[in-house]
Each structure stands twice: as C-alpha cells, then as structure tokens.
C-alpha cells in the first residue's frame, strides 16, 4: 500500500494523453501538494495541478530520491527508465546544466543561448582529468580522448549524433577548440583547422525550422598529432550533402548561408561584374519565404568567410571562381520555360534569354551550346546519336540536376582545398602519427514532405 504525504514525488501518467493509454506513453514527475483530505493534489513538472482520489493514488509509483534531485551520471539513477532519464535531463536543463553523463557517453541539451562555460579557465580545469572528477562537460570528453591517445599511444574517435538542432556542430567546434588549446603549440596549422569551420558552415549549413545553423552534410574530421601531443595537421571527409536544398526549401527555411552572405557582403562593383542583385530576386532563394535569419549577420559572416579562405591558402582568383559558380547557380534558378510543340513533339522555349546569357557569360561557355543542353536530350540508338526536344517538366528537372551537380562538385573541391592546407604528410614511414577523429553525423528529422 502506497502512503503519500505532502512533499512526496511520484510518477504520473502524462495528462496530455487524455486517458488514451498507448504503448509509448511516458509518465512525468509530480509532487504531492495536499494529502490530508479525501483527495490528493499533485503538481506536475510543468507546474499544472491535478486532483486524484485516494483509490487512484494507490496506483501511483513513488519516485526514487535520485530522480528527485537529479544526478550527473545517469547510471546512478534509481529509476533507470525512459521517464527517469527524461526527468533527470529536464531538471538539470532548468538549472542551465546542459551536459549529463551516462557512463562515458555525454548527453547534451541545446540551451539556445550563450553560456559562460567555455572559457580558457574551463579548459584548464578539465585538462588531464578523469571522467567523473569534474561535472559533465564537452571538454571532459575531449580531454578523455586526448589523454587516452597520449598514454595508450592509440588513435581515438568521438562520435557526435542527435536530431537537427541538438547542437552537434557547436560541440564539434568546442572539441576542436579544446584540442587546439591543450596541444599548447598555438601554431599556424591549428589556426587553419579552426578557420575551416566558417567556410564549411557557409557552404554546407542552412537555416531550418529546427535550427538556424543546421549542418546539411556529414563530416569526419581526423586531427593528427605527434607522439608528444602537438597537432600536426587534419583531414576532413564530407558525405551526403543535401543538394536538394539548393533548388528548393520548406516554408520558413533558407538555402545555404553562402548565397545570402555573398549578396549582402559583396561590394557593389563585384556584384555588378557578376550581374547580381538582391536575394529576393532569385527563385532558388525565395521558396521558403525566409530571407533573413535572426541572430546572423550575413555581411560580417561574408567577411569572415573571405578571411578564412585566405588563411587556408585560397588565392584571390580561386575565391572569385567560387563566387562565379555561386552566381551562376542563382541565374540558373531564374531560367523560365514555355511549353511549345515542334514537329508534333513536346518541346520548350526560353521565356527570356536574359538568364541564359548571364549564365553563359559567368561560366564563359557558348550560349547556343548551353541552351541546347538545357532544352534537348541525346539518345544513342543503333550506334547513332539522336537529339530530341524535352517537355517543360523534363527541362526543369534537367536544369535542377545540372545545378545540384555544379554545387556538389564545387563543395567537394572546397573541402579538398581545405585539406590541401591542413594535411601534412608524414616525413618518414617510421614516424608515429596519432589521431583523434570527430564524427559529426548530420541531424535526423521527420517532415511531412521529405525531398
């Protein structure tokens, strides 16, 4: 028999389910406010009051003391079930304690604000400490990987996973920041590794409905150290870039940051050379009806991107070529077609030649060859090449596929250019090289429409 008194904590079936019990229902925590009458008054973790008869109260489960106060390591929870885990994260989050251990695994809950817990002092406090000696922190994971590598002379890997908006990208950057600090070399190569972030984020991150700086690709960063623990270089592998975002976005989402940064940060003369105008003038940038991202300064970000490219040995000519490709992508999106009929076949005509002329000028290709490629298909039959027109829907698909291929190839080239700057080959086959790999897995999402 359960005897409840004022101040006791219990597990309460989620009242939002409206008595429709389902197999995946998770109870929530509640505190007894009144227990000296025929009924009990409970206040749940969301601050809502519930009245319950004494008979129903007999079915309530008492909460373990570890779930009441919360623990830093969830292995120590007495209520080791889904409700206990979620409540532990909740009460810590409410106190701005966003990190929680589960053994050697760190769970992070995005606070969506800047917390003063990533300073040089924190780096010093977490340096060369075992997990559990200090409160849960991303620096504890980075430190554990670093000193395991040094003491055991074995490579390490940190896997960062979670849904979109969970904070994977930021925690990846914090691990890099910690490793650069504890290696104590303060070398140019460390600066180059850190400066790769603004470039890759500009080209591979975007505003989504869940996250203002969502990584739309996966990356594996392999940081190389010598036997003494000094950073010698790094290598980045990218995979699964979301190329569909280039041609379309969901409501309240943006295309990749780089387009808005470029249009906001370029000088008037540079934009004039490329024939660029404003973001609202481009079809590929307006489908989400969201041109501005609160909390981001596109002008400043563009200056940071250019500065980072310089640090990573991009020449002025290479930077300009990247801008030309990005400008051509925007012009491609504004190409419009009219459905026509040619020799009893569905075909298309260009509503205006202004955009194709702009693309041909930027890419320095022949206009007629470009328009032919965008409006016809080539089929090989019996050893002969047959050129035939395509209908409007097919032409749009061809244009979009071409644009995704351009952007995808450019992204691969940029990552390769970053690696050219940060990777250092071993000077001798006898040299021992250690590494810490950081795998930033892209976020998982469920949408009504997945592209």
Which of 171, 100, 116, 166 is closest to 142 using CA atoms?
171
Which of 265, 295, 297 is closest to 278 using CA atoms?
265
Residues 141, 421 contacting (CB under 8 angstroms): no
Task: Please give the Cα distance from 419 to 417 (Å, whole number).
Answer: 5
Is 214 catalytic? The answer is yes
Tokens standing for 305?
């991107």
Catalytic residue among 169, 208, 255, 328: 169
Is 443 catalytic? The answer is yes
Which of 166, 148, 150 is closest to 158 using CA atoms?
148
Which of 346, 340, 270, 280 is closest to 303 using CA atoms?
270
Catalytic residue among 66, 102, 110, 164: 164
Is 164 catalytic? The answer is yes
Is 165 catalytic? The answer is yes
Catalytic residue among 214, 328, 356, 435: 214
Catalytic residue among 197, 208, 211, 328: 211
CA dist 109 to 159, 196, 375, Å? Answer: 16, 25, 50
Is 196 catalytic? The answer is no
Residues 198, 314 contacting (CB under 8 angstroms): no
Is 252 catalytic? The answer is no
Catalytic residue among 70, 84, 288, 443: 443
Catalytic residue among 215, 328, 375, 422: 215
Is 267 catalytic? The answer is no
Residues 41, 51 contacting (CB under 8 angstroms): yes
Q: Residues 6 or more apart from 329 whose CB is under 8 A from it?
A: 246, 259, 284, 403, 406, 407
Residues 129, 143 contacting (CB under 8 angstroms): yes
Task: Please give the Cα distance from 97 to 92 (Å, whole number).
Answer: 5
Catalytic residue among 72, 110, 125, 165: 165
Question: Active-site residue numbers?
Answer: 164-165, 169, 211, 214-215, 443, 445
């Amino acid at each position: 028999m359960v005897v409840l008194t004022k101040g006791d904590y219990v597990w309460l079936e989620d009242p939002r389910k409206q008595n429709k019990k389902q197999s995946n229902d998770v109870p929530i925590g509640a505190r007894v406010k009144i227990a000296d009458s025929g009924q009990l008054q409970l206040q749940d973790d969301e601050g809502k009051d519930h009245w319950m008869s004494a008979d129903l109260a007999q079915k309530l489960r008492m909460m373990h003391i570890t779930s009441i106060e919360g623990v830093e390591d969830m292995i120590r929870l007495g209520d080791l079930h889904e409700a206990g885990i979620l409540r532990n994260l909740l009460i810590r989050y409410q106190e701005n304690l966003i990190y929680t251990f589960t053994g050697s695994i760190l769970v992070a809950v995005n606070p969506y604000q800047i917390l003063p817990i990533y300073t040089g002092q924190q780096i010093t406090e977490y340096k060369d400490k075992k997990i559990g000696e200090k409160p849960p922190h991303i620096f504890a994971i980075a430190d554990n990987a670093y000193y395991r590598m040094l003491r055991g002379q074995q490579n390490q890997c940190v896997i960062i996973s979670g849904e979109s908006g969970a904070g994977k990208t930021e925690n990846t950057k914090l691990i890099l920041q910690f490793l650069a600090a504890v290696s104590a070399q303060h070398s140019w190569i460390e600066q180059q590794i850190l400066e790769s972030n603004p470039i890759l984020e500009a080209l591979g991150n975007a505003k989504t409905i869940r996250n203002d700086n969502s990584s739309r690709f996966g990356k594996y960063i392999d940081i190389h150290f010598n036997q003494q623990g000094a950073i010698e270089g790094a290598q980045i592998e990218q995979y699964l870039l979301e190329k569909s975002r280039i041609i379309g976005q969901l409501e309240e989402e943006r295309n990749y940051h780089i387009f808005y940064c470029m249009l906001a940060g370029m000088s008037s003369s540079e934009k004039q050379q490329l024939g660029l105008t404003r973001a609202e003038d481009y079809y590929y940038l307006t489908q989400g009806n969201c041109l501005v991202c609160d909390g981001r300064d596109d002008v400043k970000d563009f200056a940071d991107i250019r500065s980072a490219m310089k640090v990573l040995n991009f020449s002025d000519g290479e930077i300009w070529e990247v801008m030309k490709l990005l400008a051509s992508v925007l012009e491609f999106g504004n190409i419009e077609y009219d459905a026509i009929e040619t020799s009893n076949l569905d075909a298309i005509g260009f509503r205006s030649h202004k955009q194709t002329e702009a693309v041909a000028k930027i890419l320095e290709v022949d206009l007629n060859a470009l328009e032919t490629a965008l409006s016809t298909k080539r089929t090989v039959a019996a050893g002969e090449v047959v050129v035939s027109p395509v209908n409007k829907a097919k032409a749009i698909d061809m244009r979009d596929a071409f644009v995704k291929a351009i952007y995808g190839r450019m992204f691969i080239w940029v990552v390769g250019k970053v690696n050219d700057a940060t990777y250092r080959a071993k000077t001798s086959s006898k040299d021992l090289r250690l590494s810490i790999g950081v795998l930033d897995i892209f976020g998982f999402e469920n949408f009504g429409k997945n592209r």
